[in-house]
Every structure is written in structure tokens, then in C-alpha cells.
Amino acid sequence: MGYDPKSCKAEEFINHEEILESLEYAQKNKGNKELIEGILDKANRAKGLTHREAAVLLECDDKELTDRMFKLAEDLKKRFYGNRIVMFAPLYLSNYCINGCVYCPYHAKNKTIARKKLTQDEIRREVIALQDMGHKRLALEAGEDPVNNPIEYILECINTIYSIKHKNGAIRRVNVNIAATTVENYRKLKEAGIGTYILFQETYNKDSYEKLHPTGPKKDYAYHTEAMDRAMEGGIDDVGLGVLYGLSTYKYELVGILMHAEHLEARFGVGPHTISVPRLRPADDIDPADFPEALSDEIFQKIVAIIRLAVPYTGMIVSTRESQKTREKVLHLGISQISGASSTSVGGYADRELGVKEEVTSAQFDVDDDRTLDEVVNWLLKMGYIPSFCTACYREGRTGDRFMSLCKSGQIANCCQPNALMTLKEYLEDYASDDTTKAGEALIEKEVKKIPRDRTREIVGERLVKIAEGERDFRF
Ligand code: SAM
């Protein structure tokens, strides 16, 4: 490969020929047990994998080796993330959109979807509904429309969200998933105090990309692919990647996304903060059956496991696009964040509280997990996970390479585990049902004992008492 990720642009580096050659190399080595075992040994040292090595694992269908791969993903997940799962919810600001994405019901030609844009008052209602559930971390979502949703509107919304204090609630971290934009706008987002900037590539296959995005600003493959470079130039050091599985061939996508991660690491010294694994869902005028590349649950699990091995320090997100059952199949393989009680409608949270039924939907897609946040938290607790509402890293300045180096040395766990337990305790005090409180208290008692440093364990014990007495927002 003649491209140097340090000096070349993302679009050049993530090139078609290298992806095809990697897939060919993987095909040739399908039965090469020695090579595959070597790759698994490397993964076990938490050194990460190259996109070629990941392609080889993806091609492997030997039962024994695949079992080992899954076991290893589980071990790495435990090593770096323990049994914590960070919770968040999406907040849809506006579904006005001038793009023509053929898989998304926001596409400009869709005349059946109800177009909505939240006013600042409506944002307040949405945020209070989210706070009343117990959410502390949001991902803002919006279509691309420079007239209806310009950057000034997004910035105003962020400002409003951070300013709302209600009972014990406060949104402490706002991540943003909006269309690719300029360095200047990324700088403004950074100044507004966003956490992660998330942008899904949708597909790394340029031909497919151009067919799937026939009109609108998003049709420019290079501009979209280089968005994260501009975000980092604009000072955002936590970025979240993703492809929408189901649009194009998954093998191509996995190699593409790992090359993107390699590019960011080489060029900026820090890889992606998160990788999301969304799959295409039915939506207003979208039928996934019209797209031939649907993924089975088995392949989906394998993708999650391989991402965990390839980028052990990158968080991995699974949304309510997946059912409870599917989420159960992938959580232990490397997922570190999940959404809960999500609405993909503009204004959907306040409407839900009021029992308003939409006559014409404004939803982006149908969710497959529609449980309440308390039900999701309860389910996690009963499987032995710690639902975490922690937002401390970014508020303590642990972002970008600082976060990554703490992660690589394993030190991050000294903060994450106590923070997870303290924010779970807040949730139990303020929002949980009796059954969830019972399960949560039992888990906290068990987990506090496992905090290795005596002094930290003591401090956490003291703070848990203070939280029960009404104090909030302790963090390491
Ligand atoms: N407009 C921004 C952009 O262009 O990136 C924000 C994106 S949208 C609100 C969030 C993501 O939803 C998209 O990037 C896409 O991957 C995903 N999405 C769109 N249609 C979907 C569908 N039918 N099923 C599942 N996910 C979908």
C-alpha cells in the first residue's frame, strides 16, 4: 500500500484497492490456522489488529477458532470496561433535511413524514422528560438543512440543554450527531462544550455511497469521509465512527472503518472514541427488504467481537435499533454504551409523557427495544452489569489522547468503576422502581468491595452515604 496515513487524507487512505486486496488476502488465508492463531495471540496482548488481520478473522469460519475469538473479545471487554455499560438517549432536534439518502425517511422528497423542528421551549420539555427518566447523557440528532437547522440553531440548542436544571436532573454530556461540516463549525461545537462528535460514514464503498446519496450536500463522498479530520482540526478530540450495516457488504465496511481508525490514530495520535454498529431499520417510507445486504445476528456478533479485538480502547455503541435479545447477544462481546427508552421522533419524549399519539410520524426509524429506562437498567443489573450514568471523563478533561493513554495503561478503571457505582446510586435514589433499587443496591454492595485501592474504596463508601443523603455529582 503506497499511502502514508500520517500525511494523506482520509479519503485517499481508506482506498478501494487496499480494501479489496485485504479481502482477497483474507480469502486466501481462510484456512490458515497458524496465521489466525497468531492474530488471536496478538489481540490477546491488547495491541489491536490491523485491518488486514481483522479481515482474516472475519473470513474464518472454523468453529474452535471462532469460539476462541468470542472468548477473547469477552476477556478484553472485561479487562478494559469491566461490567460497566454507559447509558444515553438520542434527542431529535429537527428532521428537516435537504439530502436524498435513499435509506433514510428524512430524505427531501419524502412528503409523508411530518416535518418538525423543536423550539427552545420544546427542547426544555424534551430535556425535562429525559431528566425525569434519569438520563444524563444525550446524543443530539438532526437532518441537514442550512436554512432550518443551521449551526447557530444547533449551538443554541446545546446551550439550552446545558442550562436546564430540574429537580435532581441535569444533562451533563451532550454528544452531537449532525451532518459533516466545516472546521470553523466544528470549532464552534467544541466551544459549546460537546462531548463526542458522531458521524456515520454509512458506507465506505464509494460507488455504493454515491448511489445511496444521489442528491444534497451529503452526496460528496470525499467531504463526508474527511469530516473527522476537519472535526479534529477544529479541536474536537473525541469522534465517533459508524457504518449503517445493511447498505453495502459488511466485509468491505469492517475493513473500511478499521482503516479510518488507523488513519485517525496515525494522523492525530488518537483513534476514534467510539464506534457504533447500527443496522438498517424499517422507517416511514423505507423497507429494509429493498436493501440486499441485511446482516444475520451471527455475523453481527462476529463484527462486534472483531471490532473489540481490533480497537480494544474504543468504546462501542449499540442502540435501540436492536432488540433486547440481540443486545443480550452482543453486550458481553465488547459493547460499552447503549441507549435506553429512546424516541426517534422530534418531540417524542414530551409527547410520550403526555400520552400523545402521533397521527403522522416524524420518527427516523422504528426502534426494536421500546422498554422504559427503568426496565433496561433492571435488565442490565440482573445480568450482572453496572448501568453507568457517568460523564466524568469529558468534564475532567480526560478526552482525546489523555483518555486513550489512561485507557491503555489500565488506569482509567480506577475512575470509571467508582464513577459508575456513584452515578448508579444517584439513579437508584432519584428514579428507580423498588425492584430496580433492590437489585442495584445489592450490586453496588458487591462491586464496591472489588475496588482495589483501599483509599478509593473508602472515599466511594463515604460518597455513597452522602448521595443517599441528597448530595449529587461526585466524580473522580
Ligand atoms: N443528518 C446527519 C448525517 O447526515 O449524518 C445525522 C444523521 S441521522 C439523524 C443518524 C443516523 O441514522 C444516520 O447517520 C444513519 O446512519 C441512521 N439512519 C438513517 N436511516 C436509518 C434507518 N432507516 N434505519 C436505521 N438507521 C438509520
From first to last of its 476 residues, the chain has per-residue pLDDT tens of 557 777 788 999 999 999 999 999 999 999 999 999 999 999 999 999 999 999 999 999 999 999 999 999 999 999 989 999 999 999 999 999 999 999 999 999 999 999 999 999 999 999 999 999 999 999 999 999 999 999 999 999 999 999 998 887 899 999 999 999 999 999 999 999 999 999 999 999 999 999 999 999 999 999 999 999 999 999 999 999 999 999 999 999 999 999 999 999 999 999 999 999 999 999 999 999 999 899 999 999 999 999 999 999 999 999 999 999 999 999 999 999 999 999 999 999 999 988 887 666 789 999 999 999 999 999 999 999 999 999 998 898 899 888 888 888 877 778 899 999 999 999 999 999 999 999 999 999 999 999 989 999 999 999 999 999 999 999 99
CA 157 to ligand 1 centroid distance, Å = 20
**Which pLDDT score is estimated for 277?**
98
| Ligand 1 proximity of 387 Cβ (cutoff 6 Å) | no
C-alpha cell at 428: 437508584
What is the atom index within ligand 1 of the atom nearest the CA of 200?
Answer: 14
| Ligand 1 proximity of 226 Cβ (cutoff 6 Å) | no
Q: Using CA positions, which residue lies closest to atom 16 of ligand 1? A: 244
Residue with cell 451529503: 218
The count of C-alpha atoms lying within 13 angstroms of the C-alpha of 378, restricted to the half-sphere facing its C-beta, is: 14
CA 85 to ligand 1 centroid distance, Å = 23
What is the atom index within ligand 1 of the atom nearest the CA of 143?
Answer: 1
Residue with cell 414530551: 350
User: Mutate which of 94, 244, 253, 326 to test ligand 1's pocket (most atoms within 8 Å of Cβ)?
Assistant: 244
**Which pLDDT score is estimated for 311?**
97
| Ligand 1 proximity of 141 Cβ (cutoff 6 Å) | yes
Q: Using CA positions, which residue lies closest to atom 1 of ligand 1? A: 143
User: Mutate which of 110, 117, 153, 177 to test ligand 1's pocket (most atoms within 8 Å of Cβ)?
Assistant: 177
| Ligand 1 proximity of 379 Cβ (cutoff 6 Å) | no
| Ligand 1 proximity of 230 Cβ (cutoff 6 Å) | no
The count of C-alpha atoms lying within 13 angstroms of the C-alpha of 13, restricted to the half-sphere facing its C-beta, is: 23
Helix or strand or coil: residue 196?
Answer: coil
Mention every residue, 6+ apart, whose C-beta is less than 8 A from residue 269: 401
Q: Using CA positions, which residue lies closest to atom 6 of ligand 1? A: 178
**Which pLDDT score is estimated for 1?**
53
Of 334, 419, 339, 329, nearest to 376 by C-alpha is 339
| Ligand 1 proximity of 180 Cβ (cutoff 6 Å) | no
Query: What counts of helices (H) and strands (E) characterise the chain?
Result: 21, 11
**Which pLDDT score is estimated for 359?**
65
CA 103 to ligand 1 centroid distance, Å = 8
Question: What per-residue string of b and e applies to 125-163 under the rule 16 or more CB within 10 Å gives b?
Answer: bbbbbbbbbbbbbbbbbbbbbeebbebebbbebbebbbe
| Ligand 1 proximity of 421 Cβ (cutoff 6 Å) | no
| Ligand 1 proximity of 200 Cβ (cutoff 6 Å) | yes
**Which pLDDT score is estimated for 8?**
86
- What was the ipTM of the complex prediction? 0.98
Cα(445)–Cα(54) distance, rounded to whole angstroms? Answer: 39
Asked if 289 and 332 count as a contact pair (C-beta separation under 8 A), the reply is: no
Determine if the pTM surpasses 0.95. Answer: yes
Cα(215)–Cα(98) distance, rounded to whole angstroms? Answer: 8
Residue 141 host element (H or E): strand 137-142
CA 441 to ligand 1 centroid distance, Å = 37
| Ligand 1 proximity of 281 Cβ (cutoff 6 Å) | yes
